[in-house]
Structure 1
């Protein structure tokens, strides 16, 4: 066995591939035995092949900096992360259960509000949520579904159990990188895909197309579906273009669409105006319709909300779905599942302290050096305090922020995030922390990706996995 594998140790963390006795987990046995037979030079060559493939395929993401927007090559680790089919079956059922309950919750909030009347969640939490849209009150989209595409972040803790870290129901991104990771890995290790125990991931675009098509307000054989992007300067533009191309639909900007006097949405084409049935929007609520939200927005389509409320166009995700994306609402999701489905949650939440609760706030303020503090509505790892890696000055700043606006902050214990072997340099293999973002679709049917986007913290000891903050990614294998 190669020296790197002999020395590999995951430092008291649950490791996705290697057990405490340094033997591979059952699902990872075949992979580890194969990799440990490769020389360091050969591993390095495979890594270089991956980098060349990424450059050739143009897989990139945009980082916003003071100097401007910078396109960077996708940071990728060639050693896959493996999850057993048995473990995945539980996670998949838990993800479907969670999104079903969240959609029932959103629909209730914009209609009867029984969840508030019955005291399951305090009313002021919704009233103070910046993502609750009064403009959506009284609406029930087709199938009662508001969040058609959800990216839920899962982590494994020291006990090997999956926990939900957060739900992303506004404009979740990253699925294109999940698909590209598989394409790159197949080029780097084609021999590992010769048997069929690695479950495929490639059906996502067709599943997404079918779920979107089912939302069409018109009974037509081929509904007109478009992907609405803010444009080339958006950090996820690569994904917008990729998904439109994979689904065989038009990629449009706001200026390509207009709402006519009949309250229908039309796309400008060289053959004249064509009616649009379904818009998969990658634009935040506040920019999608200057008639209703941000009057200065040039990214959206004037009258879009009018057309949606009239039932003439489907929007995925529906405006207002982000009310369930709030990290304070997250703390109530287990109760929301029990309330709407009369079931116990299959996937547990991470323990969460609400700073708006006086007792919990005092605990948080006394333990800022041990906890992770998050604002209620930020994403991408921004605006956070990672207690054990923070300075006294940063802790003092966060104490002020929490006291000034307790409703806007939650705190969680610093998790013992699981690790996986990661190729660092010159064939050296070391453990790095990771999470997982599976994507769940819901419309006429529910669907969960086979695995998801594994994000890995490439810096030693770091828990921050976001690509914009130095993280990378791995292919995720569900192995039967």
Structure 2
């Protein structure tokens, strides 16, 4: 089956241009060739069923045919050699450090604005900027980003680039572990031949980072909870999994109450004080007293307790000002400004449509560019120029002219590809990688991450809500056998 595989004009994760596997994929390639077509089909089916049996689903809100779906899984892993991973790790830690300094600065002195690096209106007019709620707060460790999910892609030269920063409520970490679990169950022979960085102690790291945010007024052993909007949220499986693995309670807003500016959890034994809330609820819904009065998901008085230093809220309130698609273009400048270093992993080149020259260029070259709404996510309100019709481009042209600051544009990157086994054949699919960074007293990068794959032939959209799937991600470990 692999003999028919065409590399094409894209950077391929597994294969060289001559149709031979890259060095770090050789033993995997040899093993696959030993499996019969029937064995491959069987293993593919078993993997999909494993996700179904464990109830690993996500919700698609605009899907008329029912909302629950399992994430399609592809068994060809993304394998990353040790030295490449070391560079990613350094790049992610550098980026998080600068973004955290930026958030701390924006909600305090705004030096970066005074020094003319970031335009003031980009912050002031940002819908995710919570000046009156967050300014001047003393927060534990001065750390706004407990868990980040940074999306990386590889360009046509095989260079990693940052596509997006997710600093609010990044989801998908549970899939990293489930992909690994399924690979170990269904393809044990593949693991036996590889030395792979383990995921085994990662929840200890995550829990340690969480607990290190205990606020100054914590009286005893800190109590942490995960606050979820509930079972109808698209990432609910993620919430359940993370709470279980960290050994913390999963709560909804109605399970918490604020008394005398202290947060308590209702239990069958009475009220229990809560010190740390890892919330998976958007800022606007956190506290009806401080944000949206109609929110049924939040906890009344939560912000008062936060201001008094009686509870820590992770990730920080107002983080959205730093991971907005318009602010993304300034992250390399932030790295230079706060750390006096050049970015280890670069951004994708980005056009700012508030700049008249760049706007003119973009309007004239829509068929070659990708245009994104700075406030949207999940692949929505986005134009992929080369795959668009004249009609779609006209509609986008009107939207851009109406509110240019609402959009950014980027060149159509030749996203790297990797083989995927679907419909009884191997064919090349575009991939990206979400890397998870945990920040507490120290910074730690989860080895590997969530490789997302655009399973529809020719598609560039990897989001699960738009037909994408997942792959296991192996970081090769130097020396010694390690069964991941």
Q: TM-score, normalised by structure 2?
A: 0.96
Quote the RMSD (CA, aligned, Å). Answer: 1.2
**Correspondence for 2:481:** none
For 1:459 and 1:100, locate their aligned partners in 2 and report how far apart those are by CA, in whole Å: 36
Distance (whole Å) between structure 1 residues aligned to residue 154 and residue 101 of structure 2: 27
SS of 1:377's equivalent in the other structure is: coil
Q: In structure 2, what is the equivalent of residue 244 of structure 1?
A: 243
More deviation in 7-16 or 446-455?
A: 7-16
Match of 1:71 in 2: 68
Report if the CA contact (8 A) 2:226-2:278 is conserved: yes
Q: Note if contact 1:149-1:172 (Cα within 8 Å) is conserved in structure 2.
A: yes
Name the CA distance, whole Å, in 1 between partners of 2:240 and 2:219: 25
Deviations 1:354-381 (A, max 9, x none): 0010000111111111111011121111
Rounded Cα–Cα distance in structure 2 between residues aligned with 1:144 and 1:309? 14
Asked if the contact 1:69–1:233 (Cα under 8 Å) also holds between the matched residues in 2, the reply is no
What's the offset of the Cα at 1:196? 5.7
1:232 aligns with 231
Gaps of 5+ in 1: none
1:461 pairs with one of 444, 458, 461: 458
Offset of residue 169 of structure 1: 0.6
Q: Distance in 1 between matches of 2:440 and 2:158?
A: 31
In 2, Cα distance between the equivalents of 1:330 and 1:66? Answer: 30
Name the CA distance, whole Å, in 2 between partners of 1:69 and 1:309. 42
> In structure 1, which of residues 34, 38, 46 is the aligned counterpart of residue 43 of structure 2?
46
Once the two structures are superposed, the pairs formed by residues 397-412 of structure 1 within 5 Å of their partners are 397-412=395-410
| Deviation by residue 1:319-364 (Cα, 9 ceiling, x = unmatched) | 0111101111100000000000001100000000000100001111
CA distance in 1, matches of 2:141, 2:23: 41
Shift of 1:463: 0.5
Q: Which residue of 2 aligns with 1:131?
A: 128
Show the counterpart of 1:145: 143
Match of 1:368 in 2: 366
Take 1:68 and 1:171, find their aligned partners in 2: how far apart are those partners?
A: 27
Moved more, 349-358 or 126-135: 126-135
1:85-104, Cα deviation, whole Å (9 max, x unpaired): 11111011000000110000
Hey, what's the Cα distance between the residues in 2 that align with 1:258 and 1:384? Answer: 40
Deviation string, structure 1 residues 161-206 (Cα, Å, up to 9, x no partner): 1000010011110110111000011011112223561111233322
Alpha-carbon offset, residue 309 of structure 1: 1.1
Shift of 1:397: 1.3
Indicate the residue corresponding to 1:333 in structure 2: 331
**Equivalent residue number for residue 161 of structure 2:** 163
Equivalent position of 1:15 in the other structure: 12
How big is each residue's C-alpha offset from its partner over 1:391-439, in whole Å with a ceiling of 9 and x where there is no partner? Answer: 111111111111111111100011100001100122x111100100010
Note the C-alpha offset of 1:220. Answer: 6.0
**Correspondence list, 1:304-323, <5 A:** 304-323=302-321
With 329-338 and 76-85 compared, the bigger mean Cα shift is at: 76-85
The aligned counterpart of 1:277 is 275
Paired with 2:157 and 2:208, the residues of 1 have a C-alpha distance of 37
Q: How far does the alpha carbon of each residue in 1:195-225 deviate from its partner, in whole angstroms, 9 at most, with x for none?
A: 5611112333221111010001255663211
Cα distance change on mapping 1:91 and 1:66 into 2, 3 Å: closer
Secondary structure at the counterpart of residue 244 of structure 2: helix
Residues 67/12 of structure 1: CA separation in 2 closer, same or farther (3 Å cut) = closer
1:342 aligns with 2:344: no
Higher mean C-alpha deviation, range 144-153 or range 190-199:
190-199
Residue 6 of structure 1: aligned partner: 3
Deviation of 1:281 after TM superposition, in Å, equals: 0.3
Residue 444 (structure 2) aligns with = 447
Q: Provide the C-alpha distance between the structure 1 equivalents of 2:77 and 2:278, rounded to a whole number of angstroms.
A: 30
> 1:351 corresponds to which residue?
349
1:361, 1:140 → 2: CA distance? 40
Partner Cα separation in structure 2 for residue 362 and residue 210 of structure 1: 50
Q: How many residues align?
A: 475
Shift of 1:226: 0.5
Quote the Cα distance in structure 2 between the aligned partners of 1:269 and 1:469.
Answer: 40
Q: Work out whether residues 218 and 275 of structure 2, in 8 Å CA contact, stay in contact via their aligned partners in 1.
A: no
Q: Structure 1 residue 255 and structure 2 residue 275: aligned?
A: no
Q: What is the CA–CA distance in structure 2 between the aligned matches of 1:189 and 1:162, rounded to whole Å?
A: 28
For the Cα contact (< 8 Å) 1:62–1:72, is it kept in 2? yes
Question: Displacement of 1:128 after TM fit?
Answer: 1.2
SS at match of 1:327: coil
- For the 8 Å contact 2:208–2:440, the answer to whether it is kept is no
Counterpart residue number, 2:189: 191
Any idea what SS the aligned residue of 1:305 has? helix
| Residues 35-71 of structure 1: CA deviation (Å, up to 9, x unaligned) | 1111111100101111221122111111112648611
1:56 aligns with 2:39: no
Select 1:395's aligned residue among 393, 396, 418: 393
- Whether the 8 Å CA contact 2:27–2:193 is kept in 1: the answer is no
Q: Which residue of 2 aligns with 1:290?
A: 288
In structure 1, distance between residues paired with 2:22 and 2:220: 48
